[in-house]
Amino acid sequence: MQRDTPFKIGAVLFPGFELLDLYGPLEMFGLLRGEVAITMLAEQVGEVASNQGPKGVADKSLLEAGFYDLVLVPGGSGTRKEVGNTVLLAGLKARAAEAAYFASVCTGSALLARAGLLDGRRATSNKRAFDWVCSQGPRVKWIRKARWVADGPVFTSSGVSAGMDMALAIIETVFGGERSEEIARQAEYCWNRDPGEDPFAS
pLDDT (0 to 100) of residue 156: 98
What digits encode the pLDDT tens for the residues 70-86?
999 999 999 999 999 99
pLDDT (0 to 100) of residue 2: 63
pLDDT (0 to 100) of residue 75: 97
pLDDT (0 to 100) of residue 196: 94
Collect the ranges in the chain with pLDDT lower than 50: none
pLDDT (0 to 100) of residue 202: 80
pLDDT (0 to 100) of residue 1: 58
pLDDT (0 to 100) of residue 4: 79
Please choose, from the candidates 16, 98, 103, the residue with its C-alpha nearest in 3D space to the C-alpha of residue 64: 98
Taking the CA atoms of 159, 124, 149 and 31 in sequence, report the sign of the dihedral they define.
Answer: negative
Backbone phi, then psi, for 117, in 5-degree steps?
-85, -10
In angstroms, what CA-CA distances link 13 with 85, 118, 137, 143?
Answer: 13, 20, 21, 25
Q: What count of other Cβ atoms lies within 10 Å of the Cβ of residue 37?
A: 14
Q: What is the domain partition of the chain in residue ranges?
A: 7-186
Contact indicator for 156, 123 with CB cutoff of 8 Å: yes
Judge: domain 7-186, CATH 3.40.50.880: yes
What digits encode the pLDDT tens for the residues 145-170?
999 999 999 999 999 899 999 999 99
Distance CA 148, CA 33 (A): 25
